[in-house]
Amino acid sequence: MKKIINENLQTIFYALIIALIIRSFLIQPFFIPSSSMEPNLLVGDRLFVTKYSYGYSKHSFPFSPPIFKNRLFFNKPKRGDVIVFKTPVDNRTDYIKRLIGLPGDTIQFIDGELYLNNIQIFKNIKSKIDKVFCGNKLLEVNTYEEVLDNEKKFNTVYLKKYTFQNSDKFIVPSNFYFFLGDNRDCSKDSRFLTSVGYVHQNNLVGKAQFIFFSTDSRNGKLYQIWKWPKLIRFERFFKKIK
């Protein structure tokens, strides 16, 4: 009996080590808790993030141990990537946003339009009848397809009324990045310098790749099998994140 217990404990130990290695160096699951990336990411989406995409920092590991100061094997992220990062305020909370500003870039909102390096970001109207969530509130929005200077395309939403209008110029410092939520009027992001602000390259955790599971908790609990048709968003399974 003692031998069986020891063997089981060893198996569990090795399984935990393997899981830790996979989570730290290869891929990690994340859960979307807020509406800031609607319509592309919904509350209840579970997605995989690749940890190796931008190299490794202390934030690649559980509890962010101070084992080294800078990033190892650093690969620069591309404008438009959807990225998980640790917020600069506490270096502990995970946020997921879209990378808009690279080091040295200038970002500004003028009359509700986004400008990058003094050039207006092109956006093409896709719908004027959409609704998205902001917490428990349902917002009436216009949906656009935005196109960045590297031809990266993605959907964003703006409030029909009282959308974010004007801002100061944000000049991204060296080794830092500027992020925005795709739900532009329901996102705490780099526009808010006291809560998020510019994000240092060492705070990058990984690149969001695809959704592997998704549920809408407003339609029930996972153990309520009879509610699965409305609870589980089967159409979002294995959806690539653009």
pLDDT at 80: 98
Distances from the Cα of 146 to the Cα of 8, 143, 149, 166, 238, angstroms: 53, 10, 10, 18, 23
pLDDT at 24: 73
SS3 of the chain: helix, strand, coil, percent, to 5? 20, 40, 45
H/E segment holding residue 2: helix 2-21
What are the pLDDT digits (tens) for 101-116?
999 999 999 999 999 9
Task: Tell which wins on pLDDT, 218 or 15.
Answer: 218
Whether the pLDDT of residue 61 is over 80: the answer is yes
123 φ, ψ to 5°? -140, 135
- Per domain, the residue ranges of the chain are 27-240
Q: What sign does the dihedral 143-105-164-120 (CA atoms) show?
A: negative
Cβ atoms 79, 105 nearer than 8 A:
no
Distances from the Cα of 207 to the Cα of 37, 169, 172, 212, angstroms: 14, 27, 20, 15
Cα 103 to the chain's mean position, in Å? 19
Residues that are catalytic? 36, 97
Superfamily grouping for domain 27-240: Umud Fragment, subunit A (2.10.109.10)
Report the chain's terminal Cα–Cα distance, integer Å: 53
Question: Would you place residue 190 in the very low, low, confident or very high pLDDT band (cuts 50, 70, 90)?
Answer: very high
What are the pLDDT digits (tens) for 8-26?
667 777 677 776 677 777 8
